[in-house]
Structure 1
Amino acid sequence: MFKKIAAATALIIASSAAFAAQPNTFYAGADVGRTKVDDISGRETSVGAFVGYNFHQNFAVEGGYRRLADYDMGPGSVKVDQAHLSLVGSLPVNERVSVYGRLGVNSLEGKIKAAGFEEKDSTTKALYGVGVNYAFTPAVSARVEVQKPSSDSTNVSAGVAFQF
């Protein structure tokens, strides 16, 4: 599935034109989505925030934090958080729509709590993703993205960004 999305994105990029983000601008936003972890049934709601800097009309550096999942498991709970730093490359399809890809690194932290017991573990992994951005105005845009924070998890999110 991811390979098909990447191939379609490449075709769109090859036929794109015109307008992109203004260089030397900052942006910030928030998103909400769903996270699927392999070998765990169901999907969990994710919530995140991000900030970025457009250092070129087609490139930005972006950092963010996301609660990937919050599982209630009987008498205990499991929470998974993500902090990330990425290079984001985007290409316009038309004046309002652009496609983008993300490549970066993220730190994942899992917390387990049960019956007075608490354990934390963290790991650093590569992060990649693809998405579509729609500009309502030059300052306000919406985006939808598919991210792979680790080899056994996928996050699909929708968000809003404000450029300033």
Structure 2
Amino acid sequence: MLKKIVAAAALALVASSSFAAAPTAFYGGLDVGSTKIDDFDQDKTSFGGFLGYGFNQFFAVELGYRYLGKFDVFGTDVKAKQTHLSLVGSYPLNAQFDVYGRLGYNNLRAEAKAGGITYGDDTDGGLYGIGLNYNFNPQLSGRFEVQKPSSDSTNYSVGVVWKF
């Protein structure tokens, strides 16, 4: 009898956690973090925002913008920015937590000012990342993510997600 109760409770927990997982319909959020570029000693503060649409509890598409930081390159300040479009796949761990991964397209822009003139360079490429999401309630969640905007840069961020 006890085995049946434990099995029923486990099944109920698994079923309920799948309904509380990743956002469905529209959502948006803000994040703050730290960017590390391999050839520089300094980590820089990053911040950004994103909008997404969850097709179901497992898949979403997300559009985002992130200011990756301002780096000193040979005495010149270089600002790095990122615009990305990603497919996000989520897997619920329990009612509050889900793990997710992202794979997408990304545009990186570097801008430097010297002598009153702004120079810029764009690079397009792939993007991937992995994260952990915590649901505070049905409309609000928090996330931690590690993202690779390029082969030589890593961004760590914490964010808040609002589900519409």
TM-score band, normalised by the shorter chain?
0.7 to 0.9
Measure the CA separation in 2 of the matches of 1:95 and 1:60.
19
Q: CA deviation at 1:65?
A: 0.2
**Contact 2:23 2:163 survives alignment (8 Å):** no
Q: How does 1:1-164 map to 2 (within 5 A)?
A: 17=14, 18-19=17-18, 20-21=21-22, 23=24, 25-72=25-72, 76-164=76-164
**Contact 1:52 1:63 survives alignment (8 Å):** yes
Where does structure 2 lack aligned partners over 5 or more consecutive residues?
Answer: 1-12
What percent identity do the matched residue pairs reach? 53
**Contact 1:83 1:107 survives alignment (8 Å):** yes
Q: CA deviation at 1:75?
A: 5.6
Where does structure 1 lack aligned partners over 5 or more consecutive residues?
Answer: 1-15
TM-score (norm 2): 0.85
Pairwise CA RMSD of aligned residues?
A: 1.6
Q: Deviations over 1:61-91 (max 9, x none)?
A: 0000000111245863100100000000001
Q: Which structure's CA Rg is the greater one?
A: 2
**Contact 1:144 1:158 survives alignment (8 Å):** yes
Measure the CA separation in 2 of the matches of 1:90 and 1:22.
9
Measure the CA separation in 2 of the matches of 1:22 and 1:160.
12
**Contact 1:108 1:122 survives alignment (8 Å):** yes
